[in-house]
Amino acid sequence: MPLSITTDPAITTDPASRRAELIDWLGGILDMSSVERASCDASFRSYYRVESTAGYRIAMDAPPQMEDCRPFVAIGELLRRANLRVPALYAQDIERGFLLLEDLGHRSYFDILDEDNADALYEAAISSIVAMQCRIPAARVPPFDATLLRTELDLFTDWFLAEHLRIDLPRDLRSAVVECFDDLIRICLEQPRVFVHRDYHSRNLMAMADRSLGVDSKATTRSQAISQTRQGSTPPLSPGIIDFQDAVAGPITYDAVSLLRDAYIRWPAERVRRWVDRIHELSVAHRLIPADRARFHRWFDLTGIQRHLKIVGIFARLWHRDAKARYLDDIPPVLAYLAEIAPLYQESEAIAHLLEGFDLAEREKEARQRILAEKEVVST
């Protein structure tokens, strides 16, 4: 059982004070030699790599006024019980928002993926998706319902169109976009409901030690992957999974979209199609879905549009609300996905017209250049 330390302190939000408080907390648990910033993400959480006599650890600082550690703890336990590779939890102070976690290393999928190892690494990631869906009951996590899906879609209109591009849609196009949102929500809800990580992409999958690229790095065979998932074992190359606190019960294609139409790394369409076929094959083998490959691809594409509209809105909000500029450069690849897929389906026709009619890619480029130039002036 993880060590639990609970107190009732006056919670601070000042970064320097938070760091000092975190180090003081860690000092009561570990014999430390160094504490260095490891990363921060799109949330208000910060992560530190702690070197100690016990080895390396990761300390999470999640200010309680902005973040709640309890979902991370609870969902991490669900994933561990399902024999998925997630960080061990060594200590927690929920009231102050501090967790001490296993260090899964420095290398994410994003850091190491290339043409040669992609099939092996994605095979492992796909096997883990199906394992999550098979082993964790959807009822154990909150529902990805129509209200939440619409809230996500509204990020696109409120933060990207209105705030970032300063576009006021004409009434007829606004109505068409709302109708499109209705269709996307319907398509998400008509799919089998499973455990969904929700941010299952290359930056949240850790390449574990040398197993990911060693001499045995060939993709798991199909029969082996199916057998391992049924038996509850962890397949070779199984990625370390992080950032899982927002897991929900949602559409079966959602994590596949997160992985294969990643905002941070792009693959040729034909290669993505083969990987989608692989997910479909495993899902059918586990009786998660019927053997209707065309419908699965349709679900995958349209669920991807819902996710990418949300992502564009989030990336815009991260600058305009949170002053995090580094996500601005990630908007164009996501718009490119939308421009590629939206024209293929009647349900997303309004998005295709919006992208083309308002030349969103060019307007976004101009907005981003203006913001970065203004930021540079301020910093000097």
Instruction: Tell me the residue ranges of DSSP E strands in the chain.
Output: 3-4, 32-40, 46-52, 55-61, 89-93, 98-102, 193-196, 205-206, 240-241, 248-251
CA atoms of 156 and 238, how far apart (whole Å):
34
- Please state the pTM of the whole predicted model: 0.88
First-to-final CA distance of the chain: 50
CB contact set of 102 (below 8 Å; sequence gap of 6+):
57, 58, 87, 88, 89, 90
* Torsion, CA 342, CA 346, CA 350, CA 353, rounded to 10: 60
CA neighbor of 262 nearest in space, from 219, 317, 327, 307: 307
CA atoms of 90 and 129, how far apart (whole Å):
25
CA atoms of 36 and 51, how far apart (whole Å):
9
The strand pairing partners of 249, in sequence order, are 143, 195
Per-position pLDDT tens, the chain of length 380: 344 333 444 555 677 888 999 999 999 999 999 999 887 665 788 999 999 999 999 999 999 998 999 999 999 999 999 999 999 999 999 999 999 999 999 899 999 999 999 999 999 999 999 999 999 999 999 999 999 999 999 999 999 999 999 999 999 999 999 999 999 999 999 999 999 999 999 999 999 864 433 222 333 444 444 444 444 444 457 899 999 999 999 999 999 999 999 999 999 999 999 999 999 999 999 999 999 999 999 999 999 999 999 999 999 999 999 999 999 999 999 999 999 999 999 999 999 999 999 999 999 999 999 998 887 777 66
